[in-house]
Amino acid sequence: MKNNPAGVLLEKMMAVKASDHHLPMTTIWASVFKCDVADTREIVGGLVMLMELIKDAKAAVRAYAPGDPKLFLAPIDRVEMFLTTHHLASQLGSYVGFLDASTMTALEITDHILQLNFLDEHPGATKDVRDFIVTLDNILEECLASDLSQELKDLFVMNLEALRQALLRFRVGGEAVLQSALDGVTGSIVRNKDSIKNEYEIAEEFVSKTAGFMGKIEDLMNRGQNIVALASPVMNVLLPFFR
């Protein structure tokens, strides 16, 4: 798991480039974002996420890269051109030139530079974020394997993915990114409280784990260093809705 936005962007573009060049872009993005090819919302949401990563990667380069940032910005600009000019119905082969060897190599260098600087800038924080993402993945797997209805599975997956993206962007976007994600997930759960109540015998575990996880994120924001499992304001807001 990469610890900086250029690294995450690199992983996504590597997945795109490794795909069958004869496939349409909708199929490519469905594979990259792990959704159904007909799930327009997920595909569009994934593309929006990539554009946000572009912005974050550029901000990180300007903040952390040594010397003239143009060298490190060039591959990001190239990826941005690809994302903003391709047509979803066209084949990947029409656009794979944007991801040529020189662009991918330059993006790897940018990732390497940022990764080193991120590790030096805030020692320990990267491990915390990675630990969080592992925990998120475990909750996600449990959710997918549960007996929840598909509607609620989709709800929890959407919210967990929002928290994951906020954590990946935390190093550049700061606390505002995490707070926005926490607010969004809290609102989503509250808005869907009736559906959750209908399956609460099963859903209780995931509401509690999600709320508890959000509490640890709040603690990360407040402390800026070690993560301690404390009673969370999020827990106090969410759980009473289901009692």
d(CA 202, CA 198) in angstroms, rounded, equals 9
Tell me which residue of 22, 21, 56, 50 sits closest to 171, measured CA to CA. Answer: 56
pTM for the model: 0.54
Q: Phi/psi of residue 33, each to 5°?
A: -95, 0
| pLDDT mean values, one per 10 residues, the chain (243 residues) | 78 95 96 92 91 88 83 94 96 95 91 73 56 79 86 87 77 70 86 87 84 78 46 51 51
The per-residue pLDDT for 236 is 54
Burial 188-202 (b: 16+ CB within 10 A, else e): ebeebeeebeebeee
The 8-class DSSP code of residue 24 comes to: B
Question: How remote is the C-alpha of 46 from its chain's centroid?
Answer: 9
Residue 81, token pair as written in the block = 């051109």
Q: How far does the chain reach from its first CA to its final CA, in angstroms?
A: 37
The per-residue pLDDT for 238 is 56
The per-residue pLDDT for 123 is 45
d(CA 33, CA 35) in angstroms, rounded, equals 6
Q: Which residues pair with 91 in a beta bridge?
A: 24
**E-assigned strand segments in the chain:** none
Render 204-216 in DSSP notation, one character per residue: HHHHHHHHHHHHH
The per-residue pLDDT for 107 is 92
d(CA 130, CA 193) in angstroms, rounded, equals 30
The per-residue pLDDT for 230 is 35
